[in-house]
């Protein structure tokens, strides 16, 4: 499908990849709904979009660690009334508090990370599924990580959640096999983002590709026929 006139919801839209994806999809004519806890960051993305003459996005400054079914149901109602439906949902939001041993993680930090990285994507996906099913070719994309890497020491709640998110994505794919919704997990690989800098603080960030490169590949996937593509797509 062409992205022109398609409505796309992106979480983590003020972050590195989320922001790049928002700009790329806006450039290709999509109508955007952008979700992030960073109000200022969302405003900056919106300004960059409108400055180029592209349609102003809908902004949802929500903290995924603090919202549940009621907030998501309310948001779905607004999307339905304001945009007439939803064609794609891309989970780019993440919560990461640095590498540390399991026994040193504060319980509240663990619970927050599991909520943002796993529970919220499940809740939001379920809330949006009726709209995605009604579109001609719905897309439900989950940003994943290398499961072998994040199952190692020090990856904590983030690693645990990403491994579980891979299983969740596969369950959605099996469940929706007869629906008009295409599910994919995307491992974007190394990118020049704040998350990468936290994991590898001594690394020269300029040696890593800009997130816009991965964003372009994802936007291409949003408009391509993915029937013959692997369930988990590694961009690098």
Q: Residues 127, 73: contact at Cβ < 8 Å?
A: yes
Rounded distance between C-alpha atoms, residue 9 and residue 57, angstroms: 10
Q: What is the value of pTM for the model shown?
A: 0.95
Which tokens go with 168?
Answer: 């969740």
- Give the residue extent of every domain in the chain: 7-234
pLDDT at 110: 97
Tens place of pLDDT per residue across the chain (236 aa): 579 989 999 999 999 999 999 999 999 999 999 999 999 999 999 999 999 999 999 999 999 999 999 999 999 999 999 999 999 999 999 999 999 999 999 999 999 999 999 999 999 999 999 999 999 889 999 999 999 999 999 999 999 999 999 999 999 999 998 888 999 999 998 898 888 888 888 888 788 889 999 999 999 999 877 766 789 999 98
| CATH fold for the domain made of 7-234 | Rossmann fold (3.40.50)
Listed in order, strand segments (DSSP E) in 71-176 are 88-91, 138-143
pLDDT at 228 (0 to 100)? 62
Are the C-beta atoms of residues 172 and 165 closer than 8 Å to each other?
A: no
Residues 90 and 13: beta-carbon distance below 8 Å: no
The answer to whether the beta carbons of residues 12 and 89 sit under 8 Å apart is no
């Amino acid at each position: 499908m062409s992205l022109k006139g398609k409505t796309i919801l992106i979480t983590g839209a003020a972050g590195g990849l989320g922001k790049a994806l928002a700009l790329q999809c806006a450039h290709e004519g999509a109508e955007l709904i952008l979700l992030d806890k960073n109000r200022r960051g969302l405003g900056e993305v919106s300004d960059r979009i409108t400055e180029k003459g592209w349609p102003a996005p809908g902004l949802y400054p929500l903290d995924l660690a603090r919202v549940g079914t009621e907030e998501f149901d309310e948001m779905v109602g607004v999307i339905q009334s304001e945009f007439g439906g939803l064609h794609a949902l891309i989970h780019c939001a993440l919560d990461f508090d640095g590498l540390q041993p399991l026994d040193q993680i504060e319980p509240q930090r663990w619970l927050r990370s599991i909520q943002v990285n796993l529970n919220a994507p499940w809740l939001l996906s379920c809330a949006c599924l009726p709209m995605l099913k009604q579109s001609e070719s719905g897309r439900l994309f989950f940003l994943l990580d290398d499961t072998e890497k994040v199952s190692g020491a020090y990856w904590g709640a983030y690693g645990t959640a990403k491994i579980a998110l891979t299983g969740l994505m596969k369950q959605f794919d099996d469940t929706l096999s007869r629906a008009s919704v295409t599910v994919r997990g995307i491992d974007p690989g190394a990118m020049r983002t704040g998350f990468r800098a936290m994991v590898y603080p001594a690394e020269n960030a300029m040696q890593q590709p800009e997130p816009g490169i991965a964003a372009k590949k994802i936007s291409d996937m949003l408009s391509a026929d993915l029937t013959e593509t692997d369930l988990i797509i590694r961009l690098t």
